[in-house]
Amino acid sequence: MEITKVDLRGLESGGRGWDDARDAVTASMVAYGCVVVQHDGFGRDLRQALFGRALPELFGLPVEAKQRNVYDDVQYGGYIGQIPGMAYESMRLQDVSGAGPIRDFAGLLWPQGNPAFCARSDTIGEFAKDGMKLEQTVTRMVLEGLGVRNRKAIDAHHEMLGYHLRMSYYGTSPDQKQDATKVSLPAHRDYVMTNVIVQHEVEGLEVQLSDGSWFAVPPEPDTCIVVAGDLLSVVTNGRVQACLHRVRTPSNRERFATLLGCMPTAGCMVRAMDELVDEDHPLMYRPCDPYAYSDFQYSEQGRKSNDALKDFCGVPKIEPRVLLLRS
C-alpha cells in the first residue's frame, strides 16, 4: 500500500480544484493520520540555505552552546543530544511566528554575534512562513472536509496556535554495514496538533498504515508531509487519529530534517469542534490541557500505555446495556 500525494500547488480557498484537493487531504488524514503533499513553499534555494548552510553551522557548534537551548514547558522542549548510542541531535526554536524570537535564538547560540546566521535566520523565518501557510491550508481542508461549516470556529482554532521549529540531525554509524539502516527514532505519536515534516535528500521517515505495514515517505525536493498529532484527534473528535511514525536512516549518510509544529499557546484548552460531536459521533475526549498532556505522554504511565491520549482524557464508552438499565 502507498500513500497518494496530493497536489496543493496554486490552490486558493474556495477556488478551482480546492474541493477535490480538500476531499483527498481529508481522506488521507482519516485513513493514515497524515498527508503527503506537493505545494508552493520550501523552494530549492530556501532548502539549500537551510539544510546546506544554516543547519550544519548550528549543529557544528560546541555542545555547551547547543545546551543553552532550554525550554521546559513541554517534554523534549530544548536541545536533545549526547544520548549514548544515539547519533541524533535536535534543537527547538520555540517561537517562529516573528523575527524577534528567531533573533533571540541566534543571540543565545552566538552571544558574540553571528551576522551570517542572522542573515540566514531570515531563511528560518521564510521557511516557517511557508510551513505555517501549509499547515493552515491542510488543517482548514481537513476540518471543512469533516463537515465543519463554521468558518469562525476554524479561524479561532488557528488563532490559539503557536508555531515552533524543530531541527534535527541524524549522524552516521560507521561501524555498521554500508547499506544497513538503523532505527534512529522509535515508533511514536507526536503530542502536538500537527507537524509539517521536511526531509532533506536522505530518506528515513516511515509512517504506519492501517494494515500494520510501514510506508517510507520519499525525501523528494518538492514534497513534504503533514502529520497529525494527538491534539488533532481531540479537535476532530477522533475522526483523525494521530499518525504512528518512526525514523530509520541509512547508516552511512547524514540526514537533516525539520519539523514545523504547532501547539495551543499556554492557558488554552483543546476541545472537540462542536460540529464534529453528534449522536453518531459521541464525544471521545474531554477538553485537555496540552501541556499537561505532553507531561503525561512521557510519564511512566504514559510510556507504558498503548493509547496515552485515551488514558489521559478519553470519555469512557457507555455500553447500550448500561443505558437500558438506567432508562
Ligand X SMILES: O=C(O)CCC(=O)C(=O)O
CB of 198 to ligand X, least distance (A): 8
Distance CA 104, CA 252 (A): 35
- Residue 257 near ligand X by CB under 6 A: yes
Interface stretch with ligand X, choices 14-22, 96-104, 115-123, 199-207 (CB under 6 A): 199-207
- Residue 190 near Fe ion by CB under 5 A: yes
- Residue 206 near Fe ion by CB under 5 A: no
**Nearer Cβ to ligand X (73/278):** 73
User: Any bridge partners for residue 185, and if so which?
Assistant: 247
Distance CA 310, CA 249 (A): 31
CB of 311 to ligand X, least distance (A): 20
Distance CA 214, CA 208 (A): 5
Distance CA 94, CA 117 (A): 17
Cell of 245: 511514525
- Which of Fe ion, ligand X, none does residue 259 bind to, with CB < 5 to 8 Å depending on kind? ligand X
CB of 189 to Fe ion, least distance (A): 8
Residue closest to 261 by CA, chosen among 189, 195, 188 = 195
Q: Do the Cβ atoms of 73 and 293 come closer than 8 Å?
A: no
Q: In this chain, which of 245, 260, 276, 296 binds ligand X, going by CB under 6 A? A: 245
- Residue 231 near ligand X by CB under 6 A: no
Interface stretch with Fe ion, choices 16-24, 183-191, 198-206, 273-281 (CB under 5 A): 183-191
Interface stretch with Fe ion, choices 51-59, 125-133, 185-193, 286-294 (CB under 5 A): 185-193
- Which of ligand X, Fe ion, none does residue 197 bind to, with CB < 5 to 8 Å depending on kind? ligand X
Q: Read out DSSP for 219-273?
A: --TTEEEEEE-HHHHHHTTTSSPPPPEEEEEETTS-EEEEEEEEEEPTTPPB---
Distance CA 16, CA 10 (A): 9
- Contacts (CB under 6 A) with ligand X, residues 32-71: none
Number of residues that bind ligand X (CB under 6 A): 12
Q: In this chain, which of 21, 205, 260, 270 binds ligand X, going by CB under 6 A? A: 205
Burial 264-295 (b: 16+ CB within 10 A, else e): beeeeebbbbeebeeeebeebbeebbbbebbe
Q: What backbone torsions phi and psi does residue 302 show, to the nearest 5 degrees? A: -65, -40
Residue closest to 296 by CA, chosen among 315, 309, 314 = 309
Q: Do the Cβ atoms of 19 and 208 come closer than 8 Å?
A: no
- Which of ligand X, Fe ion, none does residue 247 bind to, with CB < 5 to 8 Å depending on kind? ligand X
**Nearer Cβ to ligand X (144/203):** 203
- Residue 259 near ligand X by CB under 6 A: yes
- In the block, residue with C-alpha cell 488514558: 311
CB of 293 to ligand X, least distance (A): 15
Residue type, 304: K
- Contacts (CB under 6 A) with ligand X, residues 159-198: 166, 168, 185, 190, 197
**Nearer Cβ to Fe ion (58/207):** 207
**Nearer Cβ to ligand X (22/200):** 200
Residues at the interface with Fe ion (CB under 5 A) = 190
Residues at the interface with ligand X (CB under 6 A) = 166, 168, 185, 190, 197, 199, 204-205, 245, 247, 257, 259
